[in-house]
């Protein structure tokens, strides 16, 4: 992502065509150090000419449940108005979703053994008992994640090496990992640093 804010990329990208969404967010103020919005704003959005109206942040003034409902309503409106394409499944089809993975194999805010892994009707849902702080978050569900045209799964650090090994090494344990449920209609590409790939 750092390269995007530097020449020649920053000057050659048609930023007016970009629409930016959050597939998960912590229920904290936008200026909080745990906010995914702050991470994206500081690293990218504040440095490139993306139209403010094309940045769809999650409403940080709402509760987790209300924020999830609000975000899904906004997404449904954008699909209806053809800002977002719809997959054959009826779920929104994003051009690209950028995912990370935790040491436990979680993606977005979808954690091992959690009932949300089986949610298949809602587009956006919420969690109040995240095993990783902060406890309250909102997240896309797997049907929305897997409707993506392209998923880039970026994993860094030695702490994630075991989960990477389980997910990519044909381990029987891979079925227990949320990351193993990432199976997009389009393409999936893993991007690993040396530490994350150290057990492959």
Q: Is the pTM of this model over 0.95?
A: no
**Residue 103, burial from CB neighbour count under 10 angstroms (0-12, 13-18, 19+):** middle
* Domain ranges (residues) in the chain: 2-97+110-154
pLDDT bracket for residue 88 (50, 70, 90): confident
CATH of 2-97+110-154, one of 3.40.50.300, 3.30.70.1230, 2.30.30.360, 3.40.50.1360: 3.40.50.1360
pLDDT bracket for residue 174 (50, 70, 90): low
pLDDT digits (tens, 9 = 90+) for 32-84: 999 999 999 999 999 999 999 999 999 999 999 999 999 999 999 999 999 99
Q: Measured between alpha carbons, how far is 42 from 5 in angstroms, rounded to an integer?
A: 11
**Residue 179, burial from CB neighbour count under 10 angstroms (0-12, 13-18, 19+):** buried
Phi-psi region for residue 169, left (φ > 0), alpha (ψ -120 to 50) or beta? alpha
Q: Measured between alpha carbons, how far is 189 from 11 in angstroms, rounded to an integer?
A: 26
């Amino acid at each position: 992502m750092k390269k995007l804010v530097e020449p020649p990329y920053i000057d050659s990208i048609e930023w007016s065509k970009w629409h930016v969404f959050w597939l998960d967010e912590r229920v904290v103020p936008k200026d909080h150090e745990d906010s995914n919005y702050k991470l994206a704003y500081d690293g990218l959005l504040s440095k490139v000419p993306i139209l403010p109206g094309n940045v769809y942040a999650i409403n940080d003034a709402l509760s987790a449940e209300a924020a999830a409902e609000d975000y899904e309503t906004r997404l449904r409106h954008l699909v209806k108005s053809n800002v977002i394409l719809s997959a054959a499944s009826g779920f929104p089809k994003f051009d690209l979703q950028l995912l990370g993975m935790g040491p436990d194999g979680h993606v977005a805010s979808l954690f091992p053994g959690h009932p949300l892994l089986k949610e298949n009707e809602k587009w956006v849902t919420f969690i109040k008992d995240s095993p990783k702080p902060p406890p309250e978050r909102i997240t896309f569900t797997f049907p929305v994640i897997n409707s993506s045209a392209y998923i880039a799964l970026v994993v860094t650090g030695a702490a994630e090496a075991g989960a990477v090994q389980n997910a990519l090494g044909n381990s029987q344990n891979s079925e227990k990992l949320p990351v193993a449920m990432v199976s997009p209609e389009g393409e999936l590409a893993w991007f690993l640093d040396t530490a994350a790939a150290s057990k492959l």
